[in-house]
Every structure is written in C-alpha cells, then in structure tokens.
Amino acid sequence: MTIKTMITFKDFLIFNLKSSLIRIIVFPIIALIFFGINYYNADNDHREFMESASVWLLVFFVFIMIRTYFNVKNIFYSNQKIQENISYTFRDEKICMEGETFNEDFTWNSIYKVKENKEWFLIYHNAQTMNMVSKKFFTKNQISGLRDLIRENKVKAKLRND
C-alpha cells in the first residue's frame, strides 16, 4: 500500500501544540486557580501581591505560547525533509519512504514503536525520532490495513480501535 503525504506548517504546529497541551495550558490554569483561591482568602494587604503575581503568571503564559510557536517554526523550516512530498510504501517486510531529495527503507523489526492518535500515525525509530504520517491521506481500508501490518510484524504499538 502506498500513501503520498505532505506536512504543512499548520499541521506541524497543531500537532506540537496538542502534544504539549499539559505544559502550555494546564499548568498555568492550575496556577491561576491557586492564585484565585489565595486572592479570595487574602486580606487587603496581600491582595495587591496576588494581583501582581497573577499578572506575571499571565505574562509567563503568553511568553510560553510565543516561545512554543517560534520553536516549532524553527524546527519545521530548518528540516527540509519534513516539508517535502513523501511517499510511504508499507509492505509486509519493510517500509519504503521516498521524498523529493531522499529514499529510505527500514524493516518493521527496526521500528521502536508506533503510536496512533486521531489524526496521525507516529512511527518511532527510537525514543525521540519519528516519522509523522497524517491519516488524512488514508482511506479507512488503508488505515485498517496498516494496523494489520503493524500487528502482524509484532511492532510495539498503541493503536486505535475505530
């Protein structure tokens, strides 16, 4: 089965924002709740401090969002391979990747693990390096076929059941 893909900056940014959601959003929300409870319970002398701390927390949150955007932008535009049209051919014994400037083959047993989420197949070569294959380029039958290939080759995987 052959799948032709293309990752846009928007796809890459949304993936990274969703992946780091806890760090970017949940921590500041917990901190705001903490400051809100303390503000409500504080006397007048401590309220000014709490207002100041809340403002700094908001500034920190905005800084993290801006920093994340520019880091993701730098990563995306510094890697020419990720911006290319890539054709993945999934076979019983190996995966073949062909981009505009490269060809690469790897066997199923060399894959560290595969994760599937709602929008992507993430094929990890080690704990940090992965290929991102967008599911928007697959038909439902191709998704099922890839899941079957992953299972048949006994790759460590976290796959969806839909």
Residue ranges covered by each domain of the chain: 7-78, 83-158
Q: Which CATH number fits domain 83-158: 3.40.190, 2.40.160, 2.30.29, 3.90.660?
A: 2.30.29
CA atoms within 13 A on the CB side of 99: 12
> What are the pLDDT tens digits along the chain (162 aa)?
888 999 989 999 888 888 777 666 677 677 777 766 666 665 555 656 556 666 777 777 788 788 888 988 998 999 888 888 999 999 988 999 999 889 899 899 899 999 998 889 999 999 888 889 999 999 888 898 999 999 989 889 888 887
Among residues 83, 88, 75, the alpha carbon closest in space to that of 121 is found at 88
- CB neighbours of residue 53 within 10 Å: 15
Do 119 and 78 contact (CB within 8 A), yes or no? no
Pairing of strands 113-116, 103-107: unpaired
Q: Look at the alpha carbons of 27, 28, 29, 32 in this order and tell me if their dihedral is positive or negative.
A: positive
pTM of the model: 0.72
